[in-house]
Amino acid sequence: MPRPTRRKAVRSPRTHRHAGHSKAHCVKIFRRLSLYLDRELPDNACEEIRKHLHGCDNCEVFLASFKRTVILCRQYPAKPLSPTAKDAIRAAVLKAAGR
């Protein structure tokens, strides 16, 4: 009798890790993502989140897009005033102030 071949476990991109946690745990992580990103949580809470992310593809992917959104805001380019506008506003302020 031929020996059954053991199928190699290959996780497709659509197969998600859920290491025995409930959706409520995902919600708990979701509520604290900003504090996690801003490093405002104690070490044990960070470790709990890291463990959750390791076991939950959905939250891991959500965090990636959330983090990218925050980075885009932080790196949003600042547009300076034109020299003409800067001079005009200064003159208007001084005039309104009676100088």
Partner 1 sequence: MAGEHDFDTIYREQADRLFAFGLKICGHAEDAKDLVQETFLNAYRGLDGFRGDAKMSTWLYAIAARACIRKRRKKKDAPDRELSLEEFLPTDEGEFRLQPVAAGLNPEQALQNKELKGVLDGAIQALPRHYRLVLVLRDMEGLSAREVGSIMGLNERAVKSRLHRARLFVRQRLSQKGIHASADA
Binding site for partner 1 (CB under 8 A): 16, 27, 30-31, 33-35, 38, 40, 58-59, 61-62, 64-66, 68-81, 85-86, 89-90, 92-94, 96-97, 99
Q: Which is nearer to partner 1, 5 or 65 (CB)?
A: 65
User: Tokens 């897009």 map to which residue?
Assistant: 65
Q: Which is nearer to partner 1, 6 or 79 (CB)?
A: 79
Helix 57-74, helix 43-55: angle, nearest 10:
120
- Minimum distance from residue 67 beta carbon to partner 1 (Å): 9
DSSP string for 63-96: HHHHHHHHHHHHTPPPPPPPHHHHHHHHHHHHHH
